[in-house]
Amino acid sequence: MRPIYLDYHATSPLDERVWQAMMPYWWERFGNPASGGHAYGWEVQAAVEMAREELAASLNTVPESILFTSGATEANNLAIQGVAAAYYAQGRHIVTVQTEHRAVLEPCQHLESLGFEVTYLPVQPDGLLDLEQLRQALRRETILVSVMAANNEIGVLQPLREIGVMCRERGILLHTDAAQAVGKMPLDVQDLQVDLLSLTAHKIGGPKGVGALFVRRDRPRVQLVPQMYGGGQEQGWRAGTLAVPLIVGLAAAVRWALAEWETEQARLLHLRTALWQGLQKLDDVLLNGAWSPRLAGNLNVTFQGVNGAELHRRFQAVMAVSAGSACSSGRPSHVLQALGRSRQAAASSVRFGLGRWTTATEIQQVVDYVQEILPELRQKSYIKT
């Protein structure tokens, strides 16, 4: 019997409706969108543009502002490094947050090696950014602020609208990594005053290997320097043959997620509350991050007084969960340490990621199992000490 899957922040199963939408483009409609001289190219180019229009509508923007990528990591790199190269003469200061995903932090670290200065803002104990600290960090030479919409480990939602207003008043571009947020809440780039937004498909029942970057085309018209060359696709910003089946799947995944988001988020919040209430019956179980605002399907907790490696080893037999980002496996969570957790506490923390196929029965099974093994694990840790 396979473990209960509770790692939806790492990835999600492909929705069957998304698979059905993609199917014709693997075999019957196999053309290259860049082949403009015949019907095979025309029909797939039409599918790509329809997907672009659908994604643009979901973000309340225009189709030409949507750029397809291989995922949120590429979108983050293009946004951060592309802006840095384009605005180099204007300023060399970037502001981000210590709890960002590695796909934001590492491009920033690379830019530091090229002479840029990056301010990594701390967060409060609940994981939320202090807006006054952000305000004080902004300078005349600041060209970009990058703050993720929803944290991939602790699920907290940053106040993007307030950040957007602050940046717009100062003429500073705002980028957000929305990989965990897209499809789980409305994202209106006009209301939020976001200038660049990265997203991916596979967190919401879509295929792996495809994502998109929103790039504002007016007021302000954002400039980017491409990070890939060799074909001129996507308005010259991103070279390479477009993966038509994946792009169709991305649009379908966003479509279905948004169509069902209100009822699905209410269902997930109910399951998360039941999970937390069950875990709270045990002593010394700490919530990591604010309870609200938070992704409905996220619960990150620290189990104090246990050996982290043993805890995760025992969990693996019954449930698929994570200690942190799937992209940082084996490292102590930099997010939890930014919240003030020790390395030992971070090691004995668990990210429960609930999703579309999580059931109430599974949540009860998880609660029962944790309540059964935790006293034993604590006793073992006490004896070793």
95: Cβ contacts below 8 Å, ≥ 6 apart: 118, 119, 121, 134, 137, 138, 142, 144, 145, 146
Q: What is the DSSP string of 28-87?
A: TS---TT-TTSHHHHHHHHHHHHHHHHHHHHHTS-GGGEEEESSHHHHHHHHHHHHHHHT
- Location of structure tokens 């279905």: 256
CA 151, CA 155: separation in Å to the nearest integer?
5
175 and 79 in contact (C-beta within 8 Å)? Answer: yes
Report how far apart, in Å, the C-alpha atoms of 146 and of each of 80, 103, 235, 338, 344 are. Answer: 8, 11, 24, 17, 29
Structure tokens at 104: 């934001």
Nearest-angstrom CA–CA distance, 166 and 22: 41
- The closest of 320, 308, 296, 298 to 369, measured between CA atoms, is 320
> Considering 39, 46, 317, 327, which one is annotated as catalytic?
327
- Between strands 66-69 and 211-215, the pairing is antiparallel
Considering only CA atoms, which of 177, 234, 180, 175 is closest in space to residue 202? 180
Q: How many angstroms separate the most distant Cα atoms in the chain?
A: 75
Examine the residue annotation and report whether 108 is marked as an active-site residue of this protein: no
CA–CA dist 189, 316 (Å, integer): 39
Taking residue 16's Cβ as centre, other Cβ atoms within 10 Å add up to: 9
Torsion angle in degrees (nearest 10) through CA of 325, 173, 169, 112: 80
Terminal C-alpha separation, the chain = 35
Place of tokens 């390479």: 240
Distance CA 145, CA 174 (A): 5
> What are the residue numbers of the active site?
327
